[in-house]
Structure 1
Amino acid sequence: MLTDINEKMKADDGHPVEYKDRAIIGDLKLSRMRLSRALCFANCTFTSAIDLTATQADGDLIFVDCEMHGLNAPSLRTEGHLVLQRVHNVGAISLMRGRLNGNLRCTGSTFEATDGPALDGRNLQVEGGVQLDEGFAADGEITIVAAQIKGTINARGAQLRNPSGRTIDASHLALDGEFLCGAAFRSEGELRLRLARIGALHARLGHFVNPGRYALMAEGIQVATGLYLRGGFEAHGMVLLSEANVRGEINCTGGTFADPPPDQAVIEAEHLTADAVLMQYQFRAKGKVRLDGSTITDRLSCNGGRFSNKGDIALSANGVNCGEIRLGDGCVINGGVTLHVARIARELSCSGGRVCNPGDIALMANGLICNGTVYLNNGFKAEGTVQFLRARIATELNCTRGTFKGDRTHPALSVNGLICGGAVFLNDGFKAEGMVELINTTIESELNCTNGRFHNVDDDALVAEGLVCRGSVYLNEKFVAKGKVLLHQASVARQLDCTHAKIDRFYARCMKVGTNFIWRPQETPKAVDVSHSHVGNLQDLPASWPGGQATTLAGFAFDEVDDEGVSPDTRITISQRLDWLRSAAFAPDVYQRLVRIYQGDGHSDKARRIAIELQRQRRRQPDLKLRRDGSNGRVWNLGGPLLRLWNWFLDKSVSYGYAFHRLLLLAVLCWVVSWFLFTLAQGQGLMIAAAAGQSGPRPRVSECTASYPCFVPSIYSMELLLPVVNLRQVTYWLPDFAVSPLGKVLWYWVWAVIIFGWMMAIALAGGIGHLFSRRD
């Protein structure tokens, strides 16, 4: 056969050397030969391996419908094509370091490896393309490590088997064209493209099967246009794309990814670089998808996709740098999503998506930086905690009509430390089962919880301690909080509106509200604490505050109080305001502030009634004590019973200095009665001269002498009422109780009036003291 080939090669007729229907027994050694014409074998059987080592072929080498037992062709050079079409080969085919100026065509062939790879094309150079299509099958490894192929690798419909190893090893491959492995392509084993450089990878309808191992290993691959694992693509085993660089898109839409190695990801794509990553609409991933540290210029879109890794993280994109991320429009994720310290240029949209990881983290975006908007709205549902701790959102966080479900130990939504450049919307159909946390959150626009529902019965429903909102906070209309609302140390620059809200318990110690605090809930809360808070304008209703000392007002400050309201339903009378004060735990500074506000508004009667009620409530306090610091630093106490008696006396006498007219009326009445009685006593001679040392007969009350003051009933009555004052009547004239019973009555009356006068003076001094006392 060798001689015959040599002879035919010498002919110069331009026709190929052809052999048909031959059985070639023994070795066919054409090594280091120069084949000046095309060589074609059709329907031939070779009993031994063909040796084409370092052979130089000026034309095509064609094997069609042949039975072969190996092809040893390292360093083969051909100016045409190498065709192994519909060949059945048992043994190794070696094309190492070969150079083909045409195509390598293996269409419809079957390669079965016995020892080593089925096709060894390491460092192979092909100026055309490689066809492994139309029923091509290989049982064993196809190696094209470091090969250089100018055209396309077409493996559509190829069936490759090497369950314990690699079906194709194309590490460091340089492929200018596309790698086509779709249309019923099946690889049972690892298909490796590590550090390869290719034009594109098309694997639509391709099946990569290697459960528990690598199905597609393309670490560090460089792709010029796109990587398409879509439209019926299936990978049973890990797809490794870490450090890949894809100038176009990675499109996994409609692909299925399952059966990764234990405790590893089904798609491992850390530090990936791509224009876009699409895992949407009928995309299925059963296991973790990892994109940590990746750079995606345009978008990561998972709209309509399904991710499943129950009880663990299903999608991890920590540190990703991306134009936008979409996890909505029917996207379902059974497992957690992590976007820790991710950077997003435009928006994160989860509208209409669902993340389910009960009892753990559903969506974690701690440290996220988003230069646009975060949408968790319009049907978004999360079972498990959604976290945006210390995140930065430039525009808004929109959770309108979102549903968040936590549990007793895991908050439904936690955005502690968030800095939001716009508004935060938890409104209009927003539902949270479990705690919602906005601790130390900064919001540049508004916090809108209008018509939101927060359920965490007997625990914290909404926690916004340390909140800084430079706009308004709305907890109004059909806002419902089944649990506690905590706004301790919150700062709201504009208004806090709680109109028609339903709140179980409201705690807002040390809160600041710049303008209106509209506290008009639909139902009376079980407890309210606004102690040490400061608001601009208090707008409330009598039913806004619970009774039974469940309202805490200590230190509560407000610059204005709107008792007039905008309608009769929102008007508060002074009696209702007093009832509000009585129903709360005693807070004297609130009374005092109301007094100042009413006085400033010209409502002196309201101010007086509030001031009087303050002193009456002070009397009722169980720990009533008067404490004064002496100049020597000592402290002395005056106990409660004496102070209560003194307080009661001032209340009944001069109303703590606000009813001096009462004293005047009583004094005038007492003076008139005394005048009448002593005038009567003068007429009946019941008054006797009382001055000691008087010689001779005593002057009579009905007469005036030059040596003794005359008795004048009106002046006598006046002197009795005025302590200390000496009008030369009382010390000179006294009732004579020995003459008649009326004299004894007058005697007692004198002492009663004197005591009354002293009490009147004490009340006057005490009332004036209360008016000017600092603590009142």
Structure 2
Amino acid sequence: MAEDNPPDGWGQPERRVWEAYRRGEWCDDVPEVGGRILRHLLIAAPTPHPGCQARLWLRGARITGDLDLAEVTAAGSIRLEGCRFDQPAVLDSARLGSALSLDSCTLPGLSMVGAHVGMECEITACTVTGTVDLRSLTVGNWLSLKDSTVRPPAGETAIDAQSIEVGEDFWAPGLECTGNMFLNSARIQDVLAFRGTRIRDGGLQAPELTVGGGVYLDSGFFSAGQVNLYGATIGASVSLADCQLDGPGAGRGAYALLLRCAEIGGDIQSDRGLEARGPVDLRDTSVRGSVVLGGARFEVPSATPPARAALDAARLRVGGDVDCRGGLVTHGLIDLCDSRVGGSVLLEGAELTAHGDEPALRANGAETGGVFNLCDGFTAHGRISLNSVTVRSRLCFNDATLDGPVGEVTLSCRGSSAATLSMHLRTAPPGLVDLRQSRFGLLRDAPGTWPTGLVLDGTLYDSVHPALPARARLPWLERDPAGFVPQPYEQLAVAYRRQGRAADARAVLVAEHRGLRRTLSPPAKAWSLLQDATVGYGYRPLRAVWLLLALLTVGTTLFTLWPPITVGDGKAPPFQPTIYTIDLLLPLVDLGQERFYSSTGALQWGAVALIGLGWLLVTTVAAGAGRVLRRT
């Protein structure tokens, strides 16, 4: 059993510390105590007074010399409040069965490498002018760095907490540190809360971090360097509200936020105030909830390579929504390529500005189970690329401004599919909208905001609204910069037929042949003109009827006034001018008049003209009818 009296040679201040330890009371009347005294007190711990718990509670003292508690085992709690240390405190591999609390202390450094604290470890409102080294620290309950300030010499690490294990929460609200903070491979059972933490001249490095609850980098969190959560496993949500990330900008692997290949059990939540000055990387991350970025601002500095996205979320997996409503602003590319969103992508009111030659938004190969909204004030200063996108519901551009390069592709939506494509744009895009090879159930647009250039080759849709008459819809098909393309005409005609508007369908198909005529050789153009004038390429058969009646009337009148002469052997039937005219007009019909009668003189040329016109009329009718039957 340890002695109850202090060692010989101790002065009155040291004896007061000894006695306060035995009683478990605060010792606040000792202005100065040596570090070796505290070490001896904990190693050769005296017997506590009956009914008391031995513990070291020291307030307002200056601790001189080294405080070396390496490998010390102490059962009672250690609480130092308002103390000033001459030398760094060393607790490497110490085993503290209860709590450790440093409150409002000033230290030139703190080392707790491999230490074990059975309950809470609190370093609150302290000022540390060296490194806080917590590598492999194990804390049974919670770890707190609340309101502390860590300012090591330039170039040195501020806080090194690699591989720590915390049984409950790790709190650092109000922490101010200059230099990097390391949490590599740290394991936090419940919550990691860095609310209001400010990291200057460094960043937060926490790859492979494991947190059972949520991660809170909000309420004024600031990092002047990269926040690295690569491969992190987070059981609940990540909060980035009112958070400012000033990433290192240019350079390989330099990001404001690196949250790549992470597993997040809740949301990524930033409903207000997130500012990221540097690339943000969410590639290959899985989010069980939603990604909420309303009101966030993403910007890549001018020194950053243009290919680096302001928000790179390629192959992102989201169970809920990607919700960017509320004024998202980006200066640089948003990349959602090959992402999978179980809910909706909501970019209402967002303003995206391209960086360099990159698009403002690229989501090639993305899939969403709900709507994909780029509407209600959405503005893109640059190209938008949505190739091979699958939208289970509506792809919407209503009241959107697509301010792409003049004469170049403004919106590329090739090979995509959506139940509805709605393009009631705010203004007509100055560039090209490319919808080739896409599939939509319903296509909605507004004639007043049709783009300058529109590519519809291979585009399929069940219906188009508004239900304009063909003459008003045809200019929509004539905006392809490649010139005449037949498939869009065929598709529009199919849509009209589905709506029971056969006359409009025929008008579109006639317009298709007129467009094709411009590409033909002169003889083929002449033949096309004849088919157009006579039977409307087979879609206007009444024209043939009226032409036949007109020719029949002319022939009947002609041959009534100047009957032909009888020819041939045998008894000729009575001459009938009308039947004779029909015999001339219809080359495949023999009514017995043409064999027995023949016109002479000038009348002969009238008969020849009727025969020629009959052949031409019958041939064009047959060609047009065959074309119609093939489509039917």
Question: 2:43 aligns to what?
Answer: 147
The question of 1:763 aligning with 2:627 is answered: no
- Structure that is richer in strand per residue: 1
3-state DSSP class of the match of 1:340? coil
- Cα distance change on mapping 1:88 and 1:300 into 2, 3 Å: closer
The question of 1:672 aligning with 2:553 is answered: yes
**Which one of the candidate residues 480, 487, 492 is aligned to 2:391?**
492
Question: 1:559 aligns to what?
Answer: 462
1:605-644 correspondence runs (5 A): 605-621=503-519, 640-644=521-525
Question: 2:132 aligns to what?
Answer: 239
CA distance in 1: counterparts of 2:417 and 2:12, whole angstroms? 85
Higher relative contact order (CA 8 A, sep 6+): 2
What's the CA shift for 1:260?
Answer: 5.5
Gaps of 5+ in 2: 47-53, 405-409
What's the CA shift for 1:128?
Answer: 8.2
1:272-671 correspondence runs (5 A): 272-274=164-166, 275-281=168-174, 283-309=175-201, 313-357=203-247, 358-359=249-250, 360-407=254-301, 408-456=306-354, 459-503=358-402, 504=404, 505-513=410-418, 515-525=419-429, 526-547=431-452, 550-564=453-467, 572-584=468-480, 586-621=484-519, 640-671=521-552
CA distance in 1: counterparts of 2:614 and 2:490, whole angstroms? 32
- Cα distance change on mapping 1:139 and 1:367 into 2, 3 Å: closer
What's the CA shift for 1:491?
Answer: 1.0
CA distance in 2: counterparts of 1:206 and 1:84, whole angstroms? 28
- Give the partner amino acid of 2:459: F
CA distance in 1: counterparts of 2:2 and 2:571, whole angstroms? 162
| Structure 1 contact 366–390 (Cα < 8 Å) conserved | yes
- Give the partner amino acid of 1:335: G
| Structure 1 contact 333–355 (Cα < 8 Å) conserved | yes
| Structure 1 contact 144–169 (Cα < 8 Å) conserved | no
The normalised TM-score by structure 1 is: 0.72
- Give the partner amino acid of 2:495: I
Question: 1:71 aligns to what?
Answer: none
**Which one of the candidate residues 81, 103, 106 is aligned to 2:6?**
81
| Structure 1 contact 147–173 (Cα < 8 Å) conserved | yes
| Structure 1 contact 127–149 (Cα < 8 Å) conserved | no
What's the CA shift for 1:482?
Answer: 1.3
What's the CA shift for 1:354?
Answer: 0.8
Post-superposition Cα deviations, 1:445-503, rounded to whole Å, max 9, x if no partner, equal 11111111111166311111111111111111111111122221111111122211112
Post-superposition Cα deviations, 1:159-191, rounded to whole Å, max 9, x if no partner, equal 4566xxxx2221111112233343141233x32
3-state DSSP class of the match of 1:510? coil
- Give the partner amino acid of 2:477: L
CA distance in 2: counterparts of 1:591 and 1:383, whole angstroms? 48
The question of 1:222 aligning with 2:153 is answered: no
- Give the partner amino acid of 1:461: A
C-alpha RMSD of the superposition: 3.0
Question: 1:699 aligns to what?
Answer: none
- Cα distance change on mapping 1:643 and 1:406 into 2, 3 Å: farther
CA distance in 2: counterparts of 1:498 and 1:607, whole angstroms? 28
Post-superposition Cα deviations, 1:325-350, rounded to whole Å, max 9, x if no partner, equal 11111111111111112122221101
What's the CA shift for 1:145?
Answer: 12
- Give the partner amino acid of 1:517: L
- Cα distance change on mapping 1:655 and 1:289 into 2, 3 Å: same
- Cα distance change on mapping 1:142 and 1:292 into 2, 3 Å: same
| Structure 1 contact 308–314 (Cα < 8 Å) conserved | no
Question: 2:407 aligns to what?
Answer: none
1:131-142 correspondence runs (5 A): 134-136=30-32, 138=34
Between 322-331 and 642-651, report the one with greater CA deviation: 642-651
**Which one of the candidate residues 712, 715, 725 is aligned to 2:589?**
725
CA distance in 2: counterparts of 1:619 and 1:652, whole angstroms? 13
Post-superposition Cα deviations, 1:372-392, rounded to whole Å, max 9, x if no partner, equal 111123111111111211111
Gaps of 5+ in 1: 1-75, 90-101, 108-124, 210-214, 565-571, 625-639, 695-705, 738-742
Aligned residues: 605
CA distance in 2: counterparts of 1:342 and 1:689, whole angstroms? 105
| Structure 2 contact 368–390 (Cα < 8 Å) conserved | yes
- Cα distance change on mapping 1:314 and 1:293 into 2, 3 Å: closer
- Cα distance change on mapping 1:677 and 1:128 into 2, 3 Å: closer
| Structure 2 contact 234–265 (Cα < 8 Å) conserved | yes
| Structure 1 contact 364–387 (Cα < 8 Å) conserved | yes
- Cα distance change on mapping 1:158 and 1:671 into 2, 3 Å: same
Question: 1:253 aligns to what?
Answer: 146
CA distance in 2: counterparts of 1:88 and 1:771, whole angstroms? 112
Question: 1:172 aligns to what?
Answer: 71
- Structure that is richer in helix per residue: 2
Post-superposition Cα deviations, 1:133-157, rounded to whole Å, max 9, x if no partner, equal 8232559998669936473345544
- Give the partner amino acid of 1:333: S
3-state DSSP class of the match of 2:128? strand
3-state DSSP class of the match of 1:714? helix
| Structure 1 contact 81–104 (Cα < 8 Å) conserved | no
CA distance in 2: counterparts of 1:322 and 1:469, whole angstroms? 28
Post-superposition Cα deviations, 1:750-771, rounded to whole Å, max 9, x if no partner, equal 2222111110011011011110
